[in-house]
Each structure stands twice: as C-alpha cells, then as structure tokens.
Amino acid sequence: MASYDVIIIGSGPGGYVCAIRCAQLGLKTACVEGRETLGGTCLNIGCIPSKALLHATEMLHEAEHNFSKMGLNVDAPKVDWSAMQAYKDDTIGQNTKGIEFLFKKNKVDWLKGWASIPEAGKVKVGDEVHDAKNIVIASGSDSATLPGIEIDEETIVSSTGALSLKEIPKKMVVIGAGVIGLEMGSVYARLGAEVTVLEYLDTVTPGMDGEVQKNFQKLLSKQGMKFVLGAAVQGAEISDGKAKVSYKLKKDESEETIDADIVLVATGRKPVTKGLGLEDLGVETTERGQIKTDDHWKTTKDGIYAIGDCIAGPMLAHKAEDEGMAVAEVLAGKHGHVNYGVIPSVIYTHPEVASVGRTEEQLKQDEVPYKVGKFSFMGNGRAKANFAADGFVKILAHRETDRILGAHIIGPMAGDLIHEVCVAMEFGAAAEDLALTCHAHPTYSEAVREAALACGDGAIHS
Ligand code: NAD
C-alpha cells in the first residue's frame, strides 16, 4: 500500500497525459491500468492501429493509381496481410512502450490491475488499497452495439475486431457512416473488399458541415464504397460463418437484407464505468452513463474527478488529453481550462476531413450573421502536382466583425491544416488575419489562406 497525491484510473490519452502533467507539477502520482500495455483504447485498439492500416492502404492506393502517372513503373503491389498486421502491431508496441518510458522518466507509478474506489481517498487495485488525496477517473469508452446484433468479433465485429480480421473480406457491410465506419470501411475498400455502408440518417458523418458531407460521400463513392442512407438496421444473423443484415428503408418502410463476410458495427461508443463502485460512492451518472462533472471536472463527490470519454462531450483522444492537463493544473492549485469551442475533429480517410468551430447549418440555426470563404484544392499547385486536388477549404466568419467562427476542410492533410485555423480562433482572429499572413509557396496551407482571402476581397487562384 502506498500513499499518493493523485491516482488516475485509466492510462488512455486522458489518463496518461493527466498523470504526466500531475507529476511534472510536483504531485506524487500513480496511474492504474489493467491492460497489459499502457495507452488505452487509442493506442492499443483505436487511433494508432487504425492509422497504421489507413497509411498502408493509402500507399497501396497511391502505388496502384498514381505511380505510373509519375513515370514510376513497378510491378502491381501485392498485399501481404499478415505483414501488414505485423506492421500495425509494431506501431502499437512502439507507442505503448513510449508511454511506459515517459512514466518512468516523470516518476509516475504504474499500478497494474483493474481499479475500484471503495471510498473517497482510496483506490483498490487487486488486493492492495492505496491512499489518494485526489482520484481522477479516466476509464474511457467501449463500442456500443444495436438491439438484435451480437458482436462475436469474428464475423460481426466492433472496431476492435475490424483491426485484426483473419483475412480481407470479399463483402463487408458497415453499420453506421460515422468516423469509425468510414475510416475502417476505406481500409477494406482499398484492399479490394466490396464495402456497403448502411446509415440511419440521410447523410454521412452526422454533425459535420453539410457541403463537406455531400462532397465526402461523393469522393468515397468514387473510390468504390456503396452507401444506403436512411436505412435503419434491424438485426444480423450468422450462418456458416457468413452474415445476413436486415434493415428497413425509412422512405417507404420496405425491408431489405444484405449478405456479408464481415459486418462492422460502428454505431457509436458508450462510457465505461462498471466495476468502479460509483453508485455506492455517490458519484452520479447521466442516463447515458456519463459521469456528471462540474466546470472543473469534479464529480458529485469531493476528491473525485473525471475526464475523457466517460464524461460529456465529444469522444476524442485530444479532448481527453486537454481535460487531463487541465485537471492536473486544478489539482496543483492552478487554473486548468479547456476551450470546448475550439476542438478540432478529423477523419483520417483519403482525402482527410477536418473541422473546427461551428458549421454553416449551426450558424443559420442560431441566426448568426456570417459569410463564407471557400477555396478548391483544384486551384492549389502543390495539390495538383500530388494528385490530391479533390476537396476544398471553407472558412466561416462573422459577417460584420470578420471573426473566424468555423472551418471545414476536405482535402490533402486536412487534419494538419486545420490547426492553423484552431490557433487563429484561440487568438480570436479575423479571417483577414489569416489572409494577411504570408504562406509559403507551394504548400497545401495556401488553400487555407485563399479561403480566408475569399472571406474578403476574393481568392487569387479561383
Ligand atoms: P459515430 O457516432 O461517429 O457514428 C455512428 C453512426 O451510426 C451515426 O451516423 C448513426 O446515425 C449511425 N447509426 C446508429 N444506429 C444505426 C442503425 N440502427 N442503423 C444504421 N445506422 C445507425 O460513432 P462511431 O463511428 O462508432 O465512433 C464512435 C466515437 O469514436 C465517436 O465519438 C468518434 O468521434 C470517435 N472516434 C473518433 C475518431 C477520429 O477522431 N478520427 C476515430 C474513431 C472513433
């Protein structure tokens, strides 16, 4: 048994970042993790492994479609699925070991096992009970399923199973056109699977800017993915290792079925809090299972805080990281702060999709006077040279003050380009501030500047 200033439960991006920051701020810190490796869902079965598969298959697509256009004549690439899996696993290993190194460097103790909280100020791990002046719950989330569908991680898989399929399926059905469905659907479509996405709503990626949604669906369709929108999935059955998914079309209530070798259920995630003992402690949760917190991430019990996917807000690793750093500062007597208005979101498909701030639809609904500056990557020399001219940058600014209210990018490196706008928004910048900033030529970033110029007197290259 040991005594700590703070014990963090969970070592995902929320938990491990919080632990490192607590230690850096002079607090005696431990982090509890029951998995064999640190890093939580993101590093082990989420962001990192999916990005490895996305990268590998994007390279495949590049070799198949663009190499010969650049005068690079190579034999048709062959996919070695087990070698690709090994590359993915190696990527995971390098990242999880990196966190272990950072814990040692910063003197964060890793308490191995699953934690429960027998009372405020105490954390039980295995048979040991440790004292903690403060506890931070960063227990993350898990895949949600649908009524009538049982995930066996072999034929009907969640994102976890989808990362380690035994073989590349011929026919894959993806339920849900959200981030996971489209990222993993892209991976298998590029590997040659016939991918059909069933989505309940009438658009892909709910909540994104409408113009981006339409353009994105068009581009993915061009890559061979099929979409059935307005389709409410009713259930799925397995026989002889194959699946049959039934769904109802909202437009005419007709019932349809579709066969698949693999079904990916990507209909959202739910907070994980089971086993922590929250009810007995008086730590309240919402009806969606999220832990209730105040503006400083304190739960309904003194000395217990919560961050990341197990509380309200977007389920994003970087949102959890920011909360982790902020709560560490609060515990160290400083002023932790997260600007929830400037949290980017990225879909790592090809092209990438990225957004920050408000969408045009939200501005209309809130009756905010706005203007739009848009620039197509067709007018960007670098994008043209790299066969990456699909997509656009769209900046939304206040019609009177010119203050940037949101940005939506579909195109090459969108997930990196968006941060220029994030920094601008953090500083309360006007579109003109971006437009007057010299951007190196030739870069993709020039498209962001051109969109900012389009909020004023006009873009140059369109
Ligand atoms: P999501 O909420 O993004 O999308 C789920 C989709 O499933 C929605 O479009 C919804 O309308 C649809 N759906 C729900 N019920 C349905 C039904 N019965 N029939 C047909 N469609 C149905 O969820 P996700 O893609 O599973 O992702 C989960 C979480 O993980 C999200 O919060 C996401 O932001 C996060 N995540 C982020 C990244 C990233 O940042 N790149 C990557 C992976 C996951």
405: helix, coil or strand? Answer: strand
Token pair of 415, please?
């997930």
Tell me, using a 6 A CB cutoff, whether residue 245 lines ligand 1. no
Inter-axis angle of helices 179-190 and 210-222, to 10 degrees?
20
What is the whole-number distance in angstroms between the Cα of residue 449 and the centre of ligand 1? 31
What is the whole-number distance in angstroms between the Cα of residue 303 and the centre of ligand 1? 33
Instruction: Note if the pTM is more than 0.85.
Output: yes
- Identify the bridge partners of residue 262 per DSSP, sorted by sequence position: 172
How high is the pLDDT of residue 1? Answer: 78
Residue 65 sits in the same domain as residue 189: no
Tell me, using a 6 A CB cutoff, whether residue 266 lines ligand 1. yes
Atom 35, ligand 1: residue with shortest CA distance: 315
Residue 86 sits in the same domain as residue 113: yes
- Identify the bridge partners of residue 111 per DSSP, sorted by sequence position: 32
Minimum-distance ligand 1 atom for the alpha carbon of 317: 40
Among 267, 287, 311, give the residue marking a domain's end: 267
Minimum-distance ligand 1 atom for the alpha carbon of 47: 42
Tell me, using a 6 A CB cutoff, whether residue 429 lines ligand 1. no
Residue 443 sits in the same domain as residue 373: yes
Round to whole Å and give the CA distance between 193 and 186: 9
Residue 128 sits in the same domain as residue 276: yes
Would you write out the chain's pLDDT as a tens digit for each of its 462 residues?
Answer: 789 999 999 999 999 999 999 999 999 999 999 999 999 999 999 999 999 999 999 999 999 999 999 999 999 999 999 999 999 999 999 999 999 999 999 999 999 999 999 999 999 999 999 999 999 999 999 999 899 999 999 999 999 999 999 999 999 999 999 999 999 999 999 999 999 999 999 999 999 999 999 999 999 999 999 999 999 999 999 999 899 999 999 999 999 999 999 999 999 999 999 999 999 999 999 999 999 999 999 999 999 999 999 999 999 999 999 999 999 999 999 999 999 999 999 999 999 999 999 999 999 999 999 999 999 999 999 999 999 999 999 999 999 999 999 999 999 999 999 999 999 999 999 999 999 999 999 999 999 999 999 999 999 999
Residue 261 sits in the same domain as residue 281: no
Tell me, using a 6 A CB cutoff, whether residue 276 lines ligand 1. no
42 domain-assigned: yes
Minimum-distance ligand 1 atom for the alpha carbon of 176: 7
- Identify the domain containing residue 120 by its residue range: 3-142+270-340
394 domain-assigned: yes
Integer-rounded Cα radius of gyration of the chain: 23
* Cα dihedral sign, 189-345-163-173: negative
What is the whole-number distance in angstroms between the Cα of residue 362 and the centre of ligand 1? 20
Tell me, using a 6 A CB cutoff, whether residue 317 lines ligand 1. no
Tell me, using a 6 A CB cutoff, whether residue 176 lines ligand 1. yes
| Residue 398 is a catalytic residue | no
Residue 334 sits in the same domain as residue 259: no
Among 340, 369, 400, give the residue marking a domain's end: 340
Residue 213 sits in the same domain as residue 254: yes
- Counting the structural domains of the chain, the total is 3
